[in-house]
């Protein structure tokens, strides 16, 4: 990578490369892993949803091509619903390039303002029964970028969004078709764990555990 060149012939510096790799590691690993845990948690709390998804995965064959898995509508809906309820990055921040008034509050160029992704994703005016895990909502309609934004928005939208979508679906499908899991009793019947900050992301306060079934 250090030997590659930009269009003007210049090279990336070792410092810039290090920072890019650090971003890839932190923003592209922990976020997807956290979303995967939440997806498994939600699915094993909703047997009907899990059964429907397993049926769809079974119809795809014993060794489906990853590209075919990406076309499965209910798998996509489950992943989208997981990201709606549990966005790994809880707030999208932007630095203003000009003066702006936000709900009556004057802001100046250089100020930072943000959007709470969780509040956006649980607005009852957009999401009926907003606290309920119901993937079917993503089969019933498409949501715009001002309603559903797990990867931020605008020209600063997460550059890894496509990869994150791909790996979440492939890994979730692989886990569900490879092993049978059961939530530990405290998670199967207790309240949903709180999300707390972990570096730049948020995740469950305590590790969510599963038992592997024979």
Q: For 115-136, how does the pLDDT look when each residue is reduced to its tens digit (9 = 90+)?
A: 999 999 999 999 999 999 999 9
Nearest CA-CA partner of 111 in 121, 97, 123: 97
Q: Sign of the CA dihedral 152, 153, 158, 164?
A: positive
Nearest CA-CA partner of 37 in 25, 47, 29, 48: 29
Cα gap 166→119, rounded to integer Å: 25
Please, which pLDDT band fits residue 75 given cuts at 50, 70 and 90? very high
Name every residue whose Cβ is closer than 8 Å to that of residue 6 and which is 6 or more positions away in sequence: 12
Mean pLDDT of 11-31: 80
Cα gap 8→142, rounded to integer Å: 41
Mean pLDDT of 71-100: 95
Name every residue whose Cβ is closer than 8 Å to that of residue 199 and which is 6 or more positions away in sequence: 26, 30
Q: Identify the structural domains of the chain with CATH numbers, from first to last.
A: 14-87+117-213 (1.10.630.10)
């Amino acid at each position: 990578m250090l030997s590659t060149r930009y269009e003007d012939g210049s090279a990336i510096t070792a410092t810039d490369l290090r920072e890019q790799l650090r971003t890839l590691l932190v923003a592209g690993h922990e976020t997807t892993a956290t979303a995967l845990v939440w997806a498994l948690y939600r699915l094993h709390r909703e047997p009907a949803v899990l059964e429907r998804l397993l049926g769809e995965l079974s119809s795809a064959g014993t060794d489906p091509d990853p590209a075919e898995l990406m076309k499965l509508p209910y798998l996509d809906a489950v992943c989208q619903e997981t990201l709606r309820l549990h966005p790994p990055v809880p707030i999208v921040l932007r630095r203003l390039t000009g003066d702006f008034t936000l709900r009556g509050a004057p802001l100046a160029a250089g100020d930072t303002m943000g959007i709470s992704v969780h509040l956006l994703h649980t607005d009852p005016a957009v999401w009926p029964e907003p606290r309920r895990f119901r993937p079917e909502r993503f089969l019933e309609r498409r949501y715009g970028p001002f309603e559903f934004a797990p990867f931020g928005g605008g020209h600063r939208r997460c550059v890894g969004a496509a990869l994150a979508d791909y790996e979440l679906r492939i890994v979730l499908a692989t886990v569900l078709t490879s092993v049978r899991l059961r939530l530990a009793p405290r998670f199967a019947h207790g309240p949903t764990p709180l999300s707390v900050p972990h570096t730049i992301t948020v995740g469950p306060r305590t590790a969510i555990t599963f038992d592997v079934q024979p």
